[in-house]
C-alpha cells in the first residue's frame, strides 16, 4: 500500500504556525513538521500531547535516592560499621548528614542521565542513525509541513496549501 | 484603586487587640523573683516525680566521669559538693532569667518575623528593577505595599533592641556587664558587641533601608504621572545601590540581631541563611496577597503565569534555604568542634521537634507540593504551600532566638501566639492600608505591556 503525502515548504515560522492552524481547521491530517529550530507554541498548534519526560525524571530521581541510601546503609552501617574518625555508624539516621551529599548527587545523576536516555529512546536517536530529513533546507532556514493526502483530492489540497503561504508543494509517494 | 474592606480592617484590629492582651498577659505572668521560680520548680517536681528522678540520675552521672582522673579525684569531689550546694540557687536564677525572657523573646521573634518579610519584599522589588524583569511589573504595587511595613516593623525592632540595651530584659547576654566581667570570650568581642555601637549600627541599617524604600516608592508613583523615563532610570540605579547596601547590612543585621544572642558561637554563612529565610517568606507573602487581591477582582492583568512564577520562586528559594541550612548544620556536625557544635546540640536535644520539623515544613512540603508545573498554577495549592512555608520560617526564627534566650523553658503558648497575632494584625493593617494609597497597576512602567501579556 503506497501512501501519498504533500510536502509544503515555508520560509517563515509565523507563516508556518498560521498554516498549521489553518490545516488543522480544514481537517487535513498533519503527519509531521520539520523546522530548523524550536518554534514556540507549535506543539500546541499541532495538538500534540504534553511530554511525560519530567514524570520519568522524578521517578528516576527517587530510584537514585533509594540506590544511594541502600548502598550506604549496607556498606557503612550493616556490612562493616567501622569507627572512622568518631562518626557514629550505629544507625543510618545517626550518620545521615555525611551521606546526604552522595544521596543528592546520585538523585541528580539518575534523574538526569536516565531521563536523557529515555529521551533518546523515545525519539529514536542514536549514533549512525540515518537522518530522516525529507529536505536538507529544513535544517537551515526552511520549514516543512508534511500532510497526509489520504482520500482527499491532490489538486484541491495543493491549492489550499499554497493559499496558506507555502512557497513549494511537492507530492511524495512513500 | 483598592478599597480596604471594613471586614478586613476589623479582623486586623481584632487580631491586634487580642494579641496585645495576650502579650500583656505574657509579661504579667512571667515570674519576677527567685522565690516564684522556686515555687514553680517545686510544683513541677510534685507533678513530674519521674522526670525529677531522671535529672537526679544525670547529676550522679557527672562525678563518675571525674573518677577516670584519679589524681584529681579528691579535688574534684570537694569542688562538686560545693557546686551542688550553690547549684540549687543558681539553677533557680537561671530559670528565672529564662522565664523572664519568655514574653520578650516571643515578642522579639514575631516582630523580627514580620519585619523580615517587609525587608525581603524590598529586596525582591529591587531585584526585579535591577534585573529589568518583564513579568513582574503588574505586581509592583503589591510588593510596594508589603514593603510599607518596613518602617513600623523596623522601628519596633529598634525599640526592642533599645529596651534590651537599657536592661529591660536578658535577650542579649553580652549586654549584661556582670556576665561580661567573667567572660573572656565576650570581652574579646566587646569592641563590636557594645550597646552604643550596636544601636548606632541598627539605626544605620534601618535608616538606609527606609530611605531606599521611600525613594523607590516615590519614584514609582512619580513615574506614573511623568512623561519621561527619568524616575524609572533613577529607580534602576537606586535598586542596584540598594542591593549592594542590603547585602552588607542584612549580613551584619543577622550577626547583630540574631547571632549575637549566642555570643559564643559564630557561623560564616549565617547572613545568607537569614537572607534565604527572609527572602522566601517575603515572596510567599507577595504570592498570598496577590492571590487574595486577584480573587477579589482587583488585579485585572495578573494571570496564572504570574502566580506560576511566584510559586517557582517560592519553590527555588525554599530549596536554597535548605541548602544553606544543611551546609551550616552539616559542616558543624561533621567537624564537631566543641565551641561550634554546642549550638546544634542544644537545638537537637531541647528543640528536637521544631528543629527537624521545620525541615519538613520548609523543604519537603514545598518540594513535593510545588514541584509539579501544573500545581504551581492552582491557587489553593500555592496558598497551602505558602501557609506551610510561613509557619516553617516562623519556626526557623524561633529556633534561632529561643534556645539562647529561654533555653529548655520553651513552649509555643499564649505569649508566642499572641505576639504572632499582634504583629500579624499590624502587618495586615499596614500593608492593606498601603494598597489603598495608589492604583494597583503601575501606569507607565516601560515593561508594563510585556507584563500584562506575560504568558509562560
pLDDT digits (tens, 9 = 90+) for B41-97: 777 776 654 444 444 444 434 433 333 333 333 433 444 444 444 555 678 888 888
- Give the residue carrying C-alpha cell 515555687: B39
Collect all residues of chain B within an 8 Å Cβ-Cβ radius of residue A58: 371
Inter-residue contact B318 to B363 (CB < 8 Å)? yes
Collect all residues of chain A within an 8 Å Cβ-Cβ radius of residue B336: 86
pLDDT at B82: 44
B167 belongs to a structural domain: yes
pLDDT at B62: 40
B334 touching chain A per CB within 8 A: yes
**Taking CA atoms, what residue in B is nearest to A97?**
B330
Query: In this complex, which of A54, A86, A100 lies closest to B326 when CB atoms are compared?
Result: A100
Residue contact B330–A100, C-beta within 8 A:
yes
A121 touching chain B per CB within 8 A: no
B333 touching chain A per CB within 8 A: yes
pLDDT at B61: 41
Q: How confident is the model at residue B5 (pLDDT cuts 50, 70, 90)?
A: confident
Number of domains observed in the structure of chain B = 1
Q: pLDDT tens, B380-408?
A: 999 999 999 999 999 999 999 999 999 88
Residue contact B326–A58, C-beta within 8 A:
no
- Report DSSP letters for B375-434, one per residue: GGG-HHHHHHHHHHHHHHHHHHHHHHHHHHHTGGG---SHHHHHHHHHHHHHHHHHHHHH
pTM for this structure?
A: 0.89
- Give the residue carrying C-alpha cell 533599645: B162
Averaged pLDDT, B341-358: 94
Averaged pLDDT, B354-377: 94
pLDDT at B47: 61
Averaged pLDDT, B124-152: 95
Helix (H) or strand (E) holding B88: helix B73-130
CA-wise closest residue to B152 among B429, B397, B393: B429
**Taking CA atoms, what residue in A is nearest to B373?**
A54
Best of A95, A97, A107 to substitute, by most chain B Cβ atoms within 10 angstroms, is A97
Q: Which domain holds residue B367?
A: 6-29+100-405+413-440
All three cell numbers of A72, joined, read 550506604
Q: How far apart are CA B358 and CA B366, in angstroms?
A: 11
**Where is average pLDDT lowest: B78-82, B227-231, B356-360?**
B78-82
Q: Where are the domains of chain A?
A: 4-36+141-173, 52-123
Q: How far apart are CA A2 and CA B4, in angstroms?
A: 71
pLDDT at B58: 42
Per-residue pLDDT of chain A (174 residues; tens, 9 = 90+): 468 899 999 999 999 999 999 999 999 999 999 999 999 989 999 999 999 999 999 999 999 999 999 999 999 999 999 999 999 999 999 999 999 999 999 999 999 999 999 999 999 999 999 988 899 999 999 999 999 988 888 888 889 989 998 899 999 887
Give 3-state DSSP helix, strand, coil % of chain A, rounded to 5. 50, 15, 35
- Top pLDDT among B59 and B167 is at B167
When the pLDDT of each residue in chain B is averaged and rounded to a whole number, the result is 88
**Taking CA atoms, what residue in A is nearest to B368?**
A58
B107 belongs to a structural domain: yes
Q: How far is B135 from chain A (nearest CA, A)?
A: 18
CA-to-CA separations, B274 to B150, B208, B257, in angstroms, rounded = 17, 19, 11
B5 touching chain A per CB within 8 A: no
Interface of A with B in 122-161 (CB under 8 A): none
Inter-residue contact A11 to A141 (CB < 8 Å)? yes
Residue contact B330–A58, C-beta within 8 A:
no
Instruction: Kindly provide the ipTM of the predicted complex, given to two decimals.
Output: 0.90
Query: In this complex, which of A54, A58, A97 lies closest to B333 when CB atoms are compared?
Result: A97
Q: How far apart are CA B275 and CA B400, in angstroms?
A: 13
Averaged pLDDT, B416-442: 94
Q: How far apart are CA B95 and CA B98, in angstroms?
A: 5
Q: How far apart are CA A62 and CA A56, in angstroms?
A: 10
Helix (H) or strand (E) holding B153: helix B150-165
pLDDT at B34: 80
B93 belongs to a structural domain: no
Collect all residues of chain B within an 8 Å Cβ-Cβ radius of residue A54: 373
Q: Is the pLDDT of residue B20 over 70?
A: yes
**Is the sign of the CA dihedral B445, B146, B206, B253 positive or negative?**
negative
- Burial class, B412, CB count within 10 angstroms (exposed 0-12 / middle 13-18 / buried 19+): middle
> Looking at the domain that runs over A4-36+141-173, which CATH code has it been given?
3.30.70
Q: Is the pLDDT of residue B147 over 70?
A: yes
Collect all residues of chain A within an 8 Å Cβ-Cβ radius of residue B334: 97-98
Q: What percent of chain B clears pLDDT 90, i.e. is strictly above it?
A: 75
Residue contact B329–A97, C-beta within 8 A:
yes
Q: How confident is the model at residue B172 (pLDDT cuts 50, 70, 90)?
A: very high
Collect all residues of chain A within an 8 Å Cβ-Cβ radius of residue B326: 97, 100
Query: In this complex, which of A54, A86, A97 lies closest to B330 when CB atoms are compared?
Result: A97
Amino acid at each position: 500500500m503506497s501512501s501519498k503525502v504533500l510536502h509544503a515548504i515555508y520560509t517563515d515560522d509565523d507563516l508556518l504556525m498560521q498554516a498549521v492552524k489553518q490545516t488543522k481547521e480544514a481537517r487535513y491530517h498533519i503527519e509531521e513538521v520539520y523546522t530548523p529550530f524550536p518554534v514556540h507554541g507549535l506543539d500546541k498548534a499541532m495538538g500534540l500531547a504534553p511530554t511525560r519526560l519530567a514524570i520519568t525524571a522524578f521517578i528516576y530521581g527517587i530510584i537514585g535516592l533509594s540506590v544511594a541510601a541502600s548502598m550506604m546503609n549496607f556498606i557503612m552501617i550493616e556490612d562493616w560499621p567501622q569507627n572512622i574518625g568518631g562518626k557514629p555508624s550505629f544507625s543510618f539516621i545517626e550518620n545521615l548528614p555525611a551521606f546526604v551529599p552522595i544521596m543528592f548527587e546520585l538523585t541528580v545523576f539518575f534523574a538526569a542521565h536516565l531521563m536523557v536516555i529515555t529521551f533518546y529512546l523515545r525519539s529514536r536517536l542514536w549514533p549512525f542513525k540515518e537522518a530522516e530529513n525529507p529536505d536538507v533546507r529544513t535544517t537551515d532556514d526552511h520549514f516543512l509541513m508534511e500532510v497526509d493526502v489520504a482520500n482527499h483530492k491532490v489538486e484541491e489540497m495543493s491549492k489550499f496549501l499554497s493559499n496558506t503561504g507555502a512557497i513549494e508543494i511537492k507530492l511524495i509517494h512513500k | 484603586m483598592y478599597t480596604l474592606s471594613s471586614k478586613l480592617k476589623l479582623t486586623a484590629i481584632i487580631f491586634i487587640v487580642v494579641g496585645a492582651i495576650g502579650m500583656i498577659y505574657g509579661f504579667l505572668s512571667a515570674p519576677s523573683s527567685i522565690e516564684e521560680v522556686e515555687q514553680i520548680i517545686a510544683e513541677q517536681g510534685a507533678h513530674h516525680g519521674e522526670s525529677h528522678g531522671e535529672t537526679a540520675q544525670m547529676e550522679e552521672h557527672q562525678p563518675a566521669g571525674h573518677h577516670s582522673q584519679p589524681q584529681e579525684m579528691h579535688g574534684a569531689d570537694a569542688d562538686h559538693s560545693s557546686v551542688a550546694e550553690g547549684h540549687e540557687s543558681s539553677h533557680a536564677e537561671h530559670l528565672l532569667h529564662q522565664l523572664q525572657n519568655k514574653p520578650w523573646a516571643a515578642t522579639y521573634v514575631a516582630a523580627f518575623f514580620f519585619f523580615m518579610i517587609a525587608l525581603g519584599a524590598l529586596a525582591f522589588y529591587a531585584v526585579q528593577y535591577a534585573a529589568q524583569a518583564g513579568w513582574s511589573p503588574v505586581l509592583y504595587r503589591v510588593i510596594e505595599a508589603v514593603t510599607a511595613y518596613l518602617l513600623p516593623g523596623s522601628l519596633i525592632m529598634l525599640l526592642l533592641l533599645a529596651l534590651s540595651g537599657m536592661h529591660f530584659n536578658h535577650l542579649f547576654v553580652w549586654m549584661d556587664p556582670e556576665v561580661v566581667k567573667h567572660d573572656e570570650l565576650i570581652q574579646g568581642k566587646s569592641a563590636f558587641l557594645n550597646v552604643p555601637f550596636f544601636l548606632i549600627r541598627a539605626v544605620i541599617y534601618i535608616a538606609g533601608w527606609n530611605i531606599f524604600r521611600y525613594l523607590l516608592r516615590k519614584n514609582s508613583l512619580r513615574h506614573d504621572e511623568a512623561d519621561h523615563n527619568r524616575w524609572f532610570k533613577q529607580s534602576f540605579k537606586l535598586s542596584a545601590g540598594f542591593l549592594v547596601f542590603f547585602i552588607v547590612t542584612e549580613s551584619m543585621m543577622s550577626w547583630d540581631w540574631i547571632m549575637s544572642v549566642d555570643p559564643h558561637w559564630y557561623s560564616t554563612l549565617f547572613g545568607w541563611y537569614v537572607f534565604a529565610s527572609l527572602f522566601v517568606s517575603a515572596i510567599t507573602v507577595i504570592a498570598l496577597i496577590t492571590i487574595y487581591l486577584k480573587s477579589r477582582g482587583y488585579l485585572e492583568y495578573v494571570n496564572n503565569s504570574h502566580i506560576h512564577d511566584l510559586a517557582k520562586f517560592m519553590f527555588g528559594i525554599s530549596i536554597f534555604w535548605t541548602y544553606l541550612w544543611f551546609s551550616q548544620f552539616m559542616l558543624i556536625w561533621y567537624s564537631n568542634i566543641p565551641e561550634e557544635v554546642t549550638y546544634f546540640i542544644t537545638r537537637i536535644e531541647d528543640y528536637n521537634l521544631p528543629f527537624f520539623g521545620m525541615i519538613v515544613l520548609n523543604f519537603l512540603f514545598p518540594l513535593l507540593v510545588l514541584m509539579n508545573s501544573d500545581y504551581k498554577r492552582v491557587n489553593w495549592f500555592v496558598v497551602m504551600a505558602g501557609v506551610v512555608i510561613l509557619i516553617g520560617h516562623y519556626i526557623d526564627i524561633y529556633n534561632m532566638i529561643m534556645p539562647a534566650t529561654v533555653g529548655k523553658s520553651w513552649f509555643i503558648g499564649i505569649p508566642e501566639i499572641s505576639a504572632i497575632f499582634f504583629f500579624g494584625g499590624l502587618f495586615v493593617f499596614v500593608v492593606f492600608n498601603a494598597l489603598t494609597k495608589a492604583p494597583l497597576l503601575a501606569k507607565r512602567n516601560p515593561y508594563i505591556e510585556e507584563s500584562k501579556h506575560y504568558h509562560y
